[in-house]
Structure 1
Amino acid sequence: MRIGQGCIDFLLSEPSVTVTEQNLADRVRYILRSNTFDVTELERLRREAVPSSGENTAAEDAAPQLAEQTANVDAAVNTPVVVDSNDDGTVAQEPELEQMRSTLEEAIVETRSTTLENRPRLPRLALSKRNRAVVRALNPMLVTYLEASRDLCDTDSILFGAALAVCRIIGAKLSTAGRATGQSSAIPAWRIRIEERIAKARALIGRLIRFRSGNTRPRIVRTVRMAFAETNVSLSQPDIMQKLTERIDNLKQRIAAWGKRIRRYTERSTRFNQNRLFQSDQKRLYKSLERPIVSGTGPAPNQADMVAFWRSLWSEPVNHNEGPWTEVVASQCASITPMDPVIITPDDVAEAVRRAPNWKSPGLDGLHHYWLKGFMSSRTTWCDTYEWCRRTDTARNTYSSHV
């Protein structure tokens, strides 16, 4: 849009409103960045903003003054969009398509070679037309990778790589560190601040005690002077030792008060969490009260021992001496119609994902529901994976019933 002509038209239509070229330029920048209008609407507005031969002389004289500002604004805010005017997710030019495919390939290879803990944290994207179009453009490219997927972990890596490629294409900010180091500390901020105060007070007490013991090093003397900077106490006073003792006792009392505050806040937080857990999951609360949850302790199990243990349970035939009650139960269950096998379809997967919140906190893989909704080509792969799990579980149950 031509800023100068638009400003003049607005002034002519609304003479009572004060507007400057900078205000109008800022508004244009906001409209283009927020994708308020699609490409077709923006093109129509540009055509309407072109001065015609019938316009007045004032508009023709004012338009050249803002030509340079118009060019700067257009260069700053006109981000290249990879979709056509219909916004159907198709790529406008073949070079852009090839660049997107190359970015996707690099992201998938990078994700496959990265552990879950070192994956970057995916940001929340704005639900704009441009972002949805980029997701739709990458969606058919995933078919080749998903068809060659080896297992569920590989499928998850492919989808995470595609999400990472989308973020890089649209220029979203990604955390450089992994999710394990990027997560916020489990210690609340208020406790960190109080512990820092306690540490500083203890360091000051140590230097005051050393000065009282006769240590007159320049660093120690400078610290003591800073400790009494807000008072009228001078180091040359005859009662300086008494002032030092009073100052040390005051700092110790502050440390004790801060420690009690930490204990009081911690107990309150524990009570709050336990009350909330009691309302949601009482069983989990009672288990946490019985014994502390300890994970990752002790040596890792030996793989050979695990294989031998489960093989002794599943591979060795066992003859059971069944009682007469089993025949009674079998005769009663003979008239029950078996349940039809559960077949999961892509529509079932789409319905399950549709009801899930877009940006709910993800699991260990770091993949939000937004990406499962956007990459629709993965639904068939999810169905095949679920079907394989169902067949495996059915075969295991059948085998155990015959053994």
Structure 2
Amino acid sequence: MHRLFAELEPSLTVTEQNLADRVRYILRSNIFDVAELERLRCEAVPSSDENATVEDAAPQMVEQPANVDAAVNTPVVVDSNDNGTVAQELELEHKRSTLEEAIVETRSTPLENRTRLPRIALSKRNRAVVRALKPMLVTYLEVSRDLCETESILFGAALATCRIIGAKVSTAGRATGHSSAIPAWRRRIEERIAKARALIGRLICFRSGNNRPRIVRTVRMAFAGTNVSLSQPDITQKLTERINDLKQRIAAWGKRIRRYTERSTRFNQNRLFQSDQKRLYESLERSMVSGTGPAPNQTDTVAFWRGLWSEPVNHSEGPWTEVVASQCAGITPMDPVIITPDDVAEAVRRAPNWKSPGLDGLHHYWLKGIMIKYEAKTV
């Protein structure tokens, strides 16, 4: 693009960076639409035929002044190769600016506040965008200092790809912890309990002699469908029976919540025991250790650990240690485990594309599509 601009405007001295910044500003600000950009491009880039006949055109213009306006309004025919080159340069510049913005945004955003990357279709167009962004990442990956920075660059590339192809990216941060939403069944039961308690309050007010219209209307709705009338002499007894019935229902609903909660806890623990026993035991120990008692005193804590680690202790080893040492002398030590880039590439290749990502929010699809030549930077 800089070479073409130098050919068009040899009198202007513009650096490549300045020209790229101006093009990026035009594309971001949306000053011109696509049709206007195409028209300006056609006017700026002269055709080869026009340059070849520029000297012959002057006499013809003198002889035919009536055709001047038609010649001026006639669009200039641009070589298809030059037109395609300019369009490709503008498209690459747009992708480069989008990638730069995404990487800068990712670096300044904590992990828990990152946007959730959507699943994109495995189409040729999307793959072409990923392939076009790969050469642009070389500059960023070469100066990457550690694995965290490399991961942020990859996430920025994935975010830029989603924005270029027009995928819907949510602006809300990802949930990093377990969901604290109340289950639907518990919410329904708690709503029943709240309504029953409100009705009990209204019935008690009416029994105490409160005859406001709202209270009376609620009591009539409570006895709707029965033969109970508010003017009956035994209405106080009927109100007491109704109140006791509602209290028993509230107690039954509370027991149902406890029973369902215990059943859900057992189900989750059984499923976690099958998938990750270590995590299950850690959760059980955490619930047992975490208490609401007073925190230990700092002086007592320091004295306790100082008695364990600061005072010298003389251990008397028995003869069994020599027996164990002689038995272990003939054991060949295990070779050190070295994880190579090929091992990482093979593990990523076999992983599903859209498996649930970790805390970084990066799916395996992006590792497969981008990290092909840069495994050494991530190991």
TM-score bracket for the superposition, by shorter chain length = 0.5 to 0.7
> Which secondary structure does the structure 2 equivalent of 1:117 belong to?
helix
Structure 1 residue 226 displacement after superposition: 4.7
Does structure 2 conserve the Cα–Cα contact (< 8 Å) formed by 1:143 and 1:378?
A: no
Q: Which amino acid aligns with 1:344?
A: T
**Structure 1 residue 257 corresponds to structure 2 residue 257:** no
> Which secondary structure does the structure 1 equivalent of 2:117 belong to?
coil
> Which secondary structure does the structure 2 equivalent of 1:364 belong to?
coil
Aligned to 2:154: 159
Pair 1:172–1:233, CA change in 2 (3 A): farther
Q: 2-side partners of 1:127 and 1:96: how far apart?
A: 21
Aligned to 2:116: 121
Gaps of 5+ in 1: 1-90, 300-308, 314-321, 387-403
Q: In terms of Rg, which structure is larger?
A: 2
Pair 1:170–1:385, CA change in 2 (3 A): closer
Give per-residue Cα distances to partners, 1:208-244, cap 9 Å, x unaligned: 3233333445554554455455666665555544443
Structure 1 residue 355 displacement after superposition: 1.0
The match for 2:189 among 166, 169, 194 is 194
Aligned to 1:142: 137
The match for 2:106 among 98, 105, 111 is 111
Q: 2-side partners of 1:272 and 1:179: how far apart?
A: 26
Q: TM-score w.r.t. structure 2 length?
A: 0.58
Structure 1 residue 325 displacement after superposition: 8.2
**Structure 1 residue 344 corresponds to structure 2 residue 340:** yes
Q: 1-side partners of 2:177 and 2:253: how far apart?
A: 29
Give per-residue Cα distances to partners, 1:26-79, cap 9 Å, x unaligned: xxxxxxxxxxxxxxxxxxxxxxxxxxxxxxxxxxxxxxxxxxxxxxxxxxxxxx
Pair 1:110–1:282, CA change in 2 (3 A): closer
The match for 1:371 among 344, 355, 366 is 366
Aligned to 1:356: 351
> Which secondary structure does the structure 1 equivalent of 2:287 belong to?
coil
Q: 2-side partners of 1:285 and 1:148: how far apart?
A: 41
Give per-residue Cα distances to partners, 1:86-141, cap 9 Å, x unaligned: xxxxx973323222222222222222222122122222222233332322222222
Does structure 2 conserve the Cα–Cα contact (< 8 Å) formed by 1:107 and 1:161?
A: yes
Does structure 2 conserve the Cα–Cα contact (< 8 Å) formed by 1:350 and 1:379?
A: no
Q: 2-side partners of 1:221 and 1:165: how far apart?
A: 64
Pair 1:92–1:247, CA change in 2 (3 A): farther
> Which secondary structure does the structure 2 equivalent of 1:179 belong to?
coil
Aligned to 2:174: 179
Q: 1-side partners of 2:168 and 2:178: how far apart?
A: 16
Q: 2-side partners of 1:226 and 1:174: how far apart?
A: 50
Does structure 2 conserve the Cα–Cα contact (< 8 Å) formed by 1:143 and 1:377?
A: no
Pair 1:332–1:193, CA change in 2 (3 A): same
Q: 2-side partners of 1:160 and 1:258: how far apart?
A: 48
Pair 1:234–1:118, CA change in 2 (3 A): farther
Q: 1-side partners of 2:225 and 2:156: how far apart?
A: 58
Q: Which runs of 4+ in 1 moved over 6 A?
A: 322-331
Does structure 2 conserve the Cα–Cα contact (< 8 Å) formed by 1:208 and 1:224?
A: yes
Does structure 1 conserve the Cα–Cα contact (< 8 Å) formed by 2:202 and 2:219?
A: yes
Pair 1:149–1:182, CA change in 2 (3 A): same
Structure 1 residue 361 displacement after superposition: 1.7
Give per-residue Cα distances to partners, 1:321-376, cap 9 Å, x unaligned: x998899689757xx6984773613x332211011112222211222212211222
Superposed CA RMSD: 4.1
Give per-residue Cα distances to partners, 1:260-308, cap 9 Å, x unaligned: 222222222233233334444455545555562768x999xxxxxxxxx
Structure 1 residue 176 displacement after superposition: 3.0
Does structure 2 conserve the Cα–Cα contact (< 8 Å) formed by 1:208 and 1:244?
A: yes
> Which secondary structure does the structure 1 equivalent of 2:130 belong to?
helix
Aligned to 1:209: 204
Q: How does 1:181-330 map to 2 (within 5 A)?
A: 184-185=179-180, 187-217=182-212, 219-228=214-223, 235=230, 239-282=234-277, 284-285=279-280, 288-289=283-284, 292=287
Does structure 1 conserve the Cα–Cα contact (< 8 Å) formed by 2:150 and 2:377?
A: no
Number of corresponding residues: 271
Q: 1-side partners of 2:239 and 2:272: how far apart?
A: 49
